[in-house]
Amino acid sequence: MNCELITDFKAIELNEFTPEVYMPDTLLDLDAIRGAIHTIFAGEFASEAEERGHRLPGRVEFSNLEQWAPRQPDAFLLPVAWHLLGRVEQAWGYSVGLVFHHGGIKSASDQEHALSALFLGIQGHGVNLADDFEDELERAAGVLLGLQGETWKFDPAPFYDEMNAVRDLARAVWNSTVGGTDLSTEGGE
């Protein structure tokens, strides 16, 4: 069976029950948060594609999935990000933005990279915040936790979360695109 490669995906429509966007951690760049949670969505979107028997376009690598996966409205993904950031704040005892600030993770691109690594670590992908930002975490711990002794540090993946809400959104986008059917996209690129 030789079917077309699906590349035109729609965003899920908002409705009157969709929550408004708010910003609980003002030390973080909102676009960095959007980018990081979109990274998680892109991974789930690709996983859903593979489970349905689709192939990724060309030779898409994980770093390019963000460009391929359709951007979804803030109202669907930002609440997931706020939930994750709130749980990290509970574990760390400080907001993620404050830890990043004292660690020197201040630019939007650095924050997006760090948040993506944090979210991937929480999801159990084998990468985490310490992979690229260990020195920054130690610097922040020295400032914020210095009074509590040298053994205190910030866990780069303080809990595990499968992020089912993001997976469910990826399924919904696929269902709206292909009508819930499993299409094979084997064939030419």
DSSP state at residue 35: H
How buried is residue 118: exposed, middle or buried, by Cβ count under 10 Å (0-12/13-18/19+)? buried
Query: What DSSP letter does each residue of 96-154 carry, written as one string?
Result: HHHHHHHHT--SHHHHHHHHHHHHHHHTT-S--HHHHHHHHHHHHHHHHSGGG-TT---
**Per-residue confidence (pLDDT) for residue 15, from 0 to 100:** 60
Q: pLDDT of the chain along its 189 residues, tens only?
A: 444 555 566 666 666 555 555 667 889 999 999 999 999 999 999 899 889 887 776 665 555 777 888 999 888 999 999 999 999 999 999 999 999 999 999 999 999 999 999 999 999 988 999 999 999 999 999 898 875 655 668 999 999 999 999 999 999 998 887 654 433 333 333
Exposure of 119 in the CB half-sphere (CA atoms within 13 A): 29
Task: Give dist(CA 42, CA 58) in Å, integer.
Answer: 16
Please state the pTM of the whole predicted model.
0.80
CA dist 132 to 3, 114, 125, 137, Å?
Answer: 41, 8, 15, 10
Return phi, psi of residue 173, to 5°: -65, -45
**Per-residue confidence (pLDDT) for residue 111, from 0 to 100:** 97
In a 3-state reduction of DSSP, which class is residue 41?
A: helix
**Residues counted in the chain:** 189
**Per-residue confidence (pLDDT) for residue 170, from 0 to 100:** 93
